[in-house]
Amino acid sequence: ATLASIYSAAVNARQPLEEVVPRRFPWCGDDIAAMSEIFKGYVARKRSHNLLDYDDLLLYWRALLDQPCGATMREMFDHVLVDEYQDTNSLQADILLKMRAGSDRLMVVGDDAQSIYSFRAADVRNILDFPSQHPACEIVTLSTNYRSVQPILDVSNAVIAQAKERHAK
């Protein structure tokens, strides 16, 4: 399970093992060379059996968008809506940029203050950088919270206010 997580993190973050392992899996730092060999074997075995894993689906989708048929693929979707955008990774964000290049038909929903997971190499930079990557976007802030009572919100907001970088709420 740990090897699968490391492999997926490297693929989705689009970073080499030498960067991913020390930052996210420091207890495995002495085994990078061995992991690299295991992952080469894993990729070779998938190819020899014509198999794809979930990470491959993202990689192939991303690569497909750069091919001549990518325009046809983009035209298949009138609009794209992504929920929990704060939990997307670099590869997923790049796919979305390619899917909606030159279009205003992309809507993302998310909250940078809820980016608490690093599941599949999620990166809060995606939601923080969204307005600069999509200058014509409109940010709609939902300010009513129906999930928590005010004392919990006050404490949460005080903690979040200390973030170096965030979207104002």
Virtual torsion, Cα 88, 49, 6, 62, nearest 10 deg: -30
CA–CA distance, 159 with 127 (Å, rounded to integer): 19
pLDDT in tens, 76-123: 888 899 999 999 999 999 999 888 866 778 899 988 877 776 777 888
Greater pLDDT, 108 or 166: 108
| Dihedral pair phi/psi, residue 25, rounded to 5° | -135, 60
CA-nearest of 81, 167, 169 to 124 is 167
pTM for the full predicted model: 0.80
Mean pLDDT of the chain: 89
